[in-house]
Amino acid sequence: MGEKHTTEVSAVNRTIRIIETLRDLQPAGVTEIANAAGQTKSSVYNHLATLENEGYVIKTNGEYELGLRFLPLGEAARQRLSVYRAARAEIEQLGRETGTNAYLSVEERGLATVIFRHLENEIDLGSIGTTVPLTTSSMGKAILAQLPVERVDEIVDRHGFPRMTESSIVDRGALDEELEQIRQQGFALDKGEHVKRLRGVGAAILGPDGEVRGAVSVAGPERELRGPFFEEELPDAVLDVTNVIELKLMENMSV
């Protein structure tokens, strides 16, 4: 469930913090990274030198960037998920046919992580690897609605109710009411709860064992996602794709 271990290695923690800081700042020099990461320049320099020797960062004119050696690691993480292999082509087709940005996400550590996307408009919910609070997006609420109440309790206790916009859900009563509605209708709506004037429709993907494997969602500008298109056509399209993915998961299990 993502519990913290008491045997953490501080050097590894520092390395991870440096890598994440570099991701946000790149290209960046040692001083800038050290200040942002809250570490000494000498420590940051030594970590970066080691990462450079191993090919995980590159240095050009005194500034560092992430190296391409990270790519196989990320792809290996995605490929281990059967839902990614089953859903990729379906997500691309969904985006093209609806003219929306289409996403595949999974729940990890109480957050929705985008693992694949197909873009059709300029308002993007997030790049691959982006994490989104489960209570503020259609993909997240669709997942929450299918989780056991004990797991929902754990997630809420850990992450609370982030107020991303004035439309975000900020209390448990409102969340429970919406999750029940999602269970009844089979899909979730995002009416500017994660990003102002961005709307979305999402549905959970269930595996043959009945457990949540992820969620399909589409998103776009409020000016385009409205009326019957937003409330009826997109939910039908998302549910159709979700059903196809679930059938693929079932077929793969029987092979």
pLDDT greater than 90 at residue 3 = no
In this prediction, residue 79 carries a pLDDT of: 87
In this prediction, residue 165 carries a pLDDT of: 92
- Percent of the chain having pLDDT more than 90? 81
- Percent of the chain having pLDDT more than 70? 95
Identify the band that residue 7 occupies on the pLDDT scale cut at 50, 70 and 90: low
10 vs 55, residue with greater confidence: 55
In this prediction, residue 98 carries a pLDDT of: 96
In this prediction, residue 11 carries a pLDDT of: 85
pLDDT tens digits, one per residue of 145-160: 999 999 999 999 999 9
Domains located in the chain, CATH noted: 10-68 (1.10.10.10), 74-254 (3.30.450.40)
178 vs 126, residue with greater confidence: 178
For residues 77 and 100, give the distance between their C-alpha atoms in angstroms, rounded to a whole number.
26
pLDDT greater than 90 at residue 44 = yes
pLDDT tens digits, one per residue of 53-110: 999 999 999 999 999 999 898 889 888 899 999 999 999 999 999 999 999 999 999 9
pLDDT greater than 70 at residue 2 = no
Identify the band that residue 227 occupies on the pLDDT scale cut at 50, 70 and 90: very high
pLDDT tens digits, one per residue of 147-206: 999 999 999 999 999 999 999 999 999 999 999 999 999 999 999 999 999 999 999 999
pLDDT greater than 50 at residue 255 = no
In this prediction, residue 144 carries a pLDDT of: 97
